[in-house]
């Protein structure tokens, strides 16, 4: 009997030892997974889904621009955007509108050879930060429109262009021009950023699936081994709904004086430009 119990104890002891080690290993792995999950959960609480930029190409693009201008990101989007405007040499306009337009020393930047030039501007109907639908045909009804595509409010140099336009918006209003900015940010995210940094007094619209950006040629989805392409885009649409000027690229367009000149010429308001040249009846600036 004693021999049998001794054999049983000997046989169970190794198994018991193995069971204990396996349990400890399992519990250790479970604890590690729990810690990892806690870290991930904490990260997403601090960085909601819509604010996380999961785009290495875009992040690299932003990093390169910071390096180009010797900027250091502080995390405060508006301050960083304003610093970018200064570093990139955005000119502050202070003269009267006619003085700006009649300066013979100023030469506006020519439009790039974009596929939409002299074409009807692609229509869109998108939600603003209030959830209201805004369409190009409504915004540009009997007036020219400047259409700006930016990469999102998480990118300071993207927001810089919006701030620059806001600073000069009274000039655009004097030319009876509407302005609209479009990104893939959700209306809710835009509302949050407006609450934190201040809103703009022109329409800022949401193009969540980049369908409108694609139709305007500033977005191409990833295709096979080709990466997704997203660009800044600035377009001038005349009163007839035709695209007459365009600029796209890796950096935002900050030369509002060029835009004003193009807009004035298209309406017969540029000094020395005849009605025939502009294609529009001449009129006085309000």
Each residue's pLDDT expressed in tens, for the chain with a length of 286 residues: 445 444 444 444 444 445 566 666 555 655 554 554 443 334 333 444 333 334 566 667 777 777 888 888 888 999 999 999 999 999 989 999 999 999 999 999 999 999 999 999 999 999 999 999 999 999 988 899 999 999 999 888 889 999 999 999 999 999 999 999 999 999 999 999 999 999 999 999 999 999 999 999 999 998 988 888 999 999 999 999 999 999 999 999 999 999 999 999 999 998 765 544 545 544 444 4
**Residue 28: predicted pLDDT:** 61
Specify whether 222 is located in the same domain as 138.
Answer: yes
Residue 206 belongs to some domain of the structure: yes
Looking at residue 246, which CATH number applies to its domain? 3.40.30.10
> Is 14 a domain residue?
yes
What residue numbers bound the domain in which 60 lies? Answer: 56-278
pLDDT of residue 46: 43
**Does residue 269 contact residue 285 with C-beta atoms inside 8 Å?**
yes
β pairing state of 203-206 and 125-128: antiparallel
Could you tell me if 233 and 270 lie in one domain?
yes
Q: Are residues 26 and 89 in the same domain?
A: no
Residue 80 pLDDT: 92
- 248 assigned to some structural domain: yes
40 and 105 belong to one structural domain: no
Helical (H) or strand (E) element with 193 = helix 187-197
Q: Do 37 and 63 fall into the same domain?
A: no
Is residue 33 located within the same domain as residue 174? no
Nearest to 242 by CA among 135, 121, 124: 121
Three-state DSSP state, 94: coil
d(CA 62, CA 154): 10
Q: Is residue 260 part of a domain?
A: yes
Closest CA to 217 of 202, 237, 232: 232
Total number of domains constituting the chain:
2
In a domain, 284, yes or no: no
- Give residues with Cβ within 8 angstroms of 286, minimum separation 6: 174, 176
Q: Among positive and negative, which fits the CA dihedral 177, 210, 122, 233? A: positive
Q: Do 103 and 175 form a contact (C-beta atoms < 8 A)?
A: no
Domain check: are 149 and 194 in the same one? yes
Does one domain contain both 128 and 23?
Answer: no
Other beta carbons within 10 Å of 276: 8
The answer to whether residue 51 is domain-embedded is: no
Distance of alpha carbon 232 from alpha carbon 258, whole angstroms: 17
121 and 262 within one domain: yes
Q: Considering the entire predicted model, what is its pTM?
A: 0.76
Rounded Cα–Cα distance for residues 164 and 78 (Å) = 11
Q: Evaluate whether 135 touches 205 at the Cβ level (below 8 Å).
A: no
CA nearest 170: which of 94, 237, 249?
Answer: 94
User: How much is the pLDDT for 72?
Assistant: 84
Shared domain for 8 and 124, answered yes or no, is: no
Q: Kindly state whether residue 6 falls inside one of the protein's structural domains.
A: yes
Query: What's the confidence (pLDDT) of residue 13?
Result: 46
The span from the CA of 223 to the CA of 204, in Å, is: 29
- Residue 68 φ/ψ region, left for φ over 0, alpha for ψ in the -120 to 50 degree band, beta for the rest: alpha
Q: CB-hemisphere CA count at 13 Å for 182?
A: 31
Do 191 and 96 sit in the same domain of this protein? yes
Residue 66 domain-assigned (yes or no)? yes
Q: Are residues 6 and 89 in the same domain?
A: no
């Amino acid at each position: 009997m004693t021999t049998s119990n001794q054999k049983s104890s000997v046989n169970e002891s190794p198994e018991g030892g193995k069971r204990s080690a396996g349990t400890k290993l399992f519990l250790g792995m479970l604890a590690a997974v729990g810690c990892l999950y806690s870290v991930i959960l904490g990260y997403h609480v601090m960085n909601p889904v819509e604010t996380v930029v999961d785009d290495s190409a875009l992040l690299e693009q932003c990093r390169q621009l910071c390096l180009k201008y010797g900027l250091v990101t502080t995390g405060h989007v508006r301050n960083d955007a304003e610093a970018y405007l200064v570093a990139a040499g955005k000119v502050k306009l202070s003269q009267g509108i006619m003085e700006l337009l009649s300066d013979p020393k100023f030469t506006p930047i020519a439009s790039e050879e974009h596929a939409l030039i002299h074409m009807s501007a692609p229509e869109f109907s998108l939600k603003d930060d209030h959830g209201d639908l805004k369409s190009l045909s409504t915004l540009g009804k009997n007036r020219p429109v400047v259409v700006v595509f930016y990469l999102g409010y998480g990118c300071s140099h993207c927001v810089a262009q919006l701030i620059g336009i806001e600073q000069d918006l009274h000039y655009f209003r004097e030319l009876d021009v509407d302005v609209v900015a479009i990104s893939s940010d959700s209306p809710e995210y835009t509302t949050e950023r407006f609450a934190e940094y201040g809103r703009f007094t022109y329409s800022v619209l949401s193009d969540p699936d980049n369908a409108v950006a694609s139709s305007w040629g500033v977005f191409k989805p990833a295709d096979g081994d080709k990466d997704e392409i997203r660009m800044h885009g600035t377009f001038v649409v005349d009163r007839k709904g035709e695209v007459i000027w365009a600029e796209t690229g890796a950096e935002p367009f900050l030369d509002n004086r060029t835009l004003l000149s193009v807009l004035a010429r298209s309406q017969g308001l540029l000094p020395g430009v005849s009605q025939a040249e502009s294609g529009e009846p001449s009129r006085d600036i309000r």
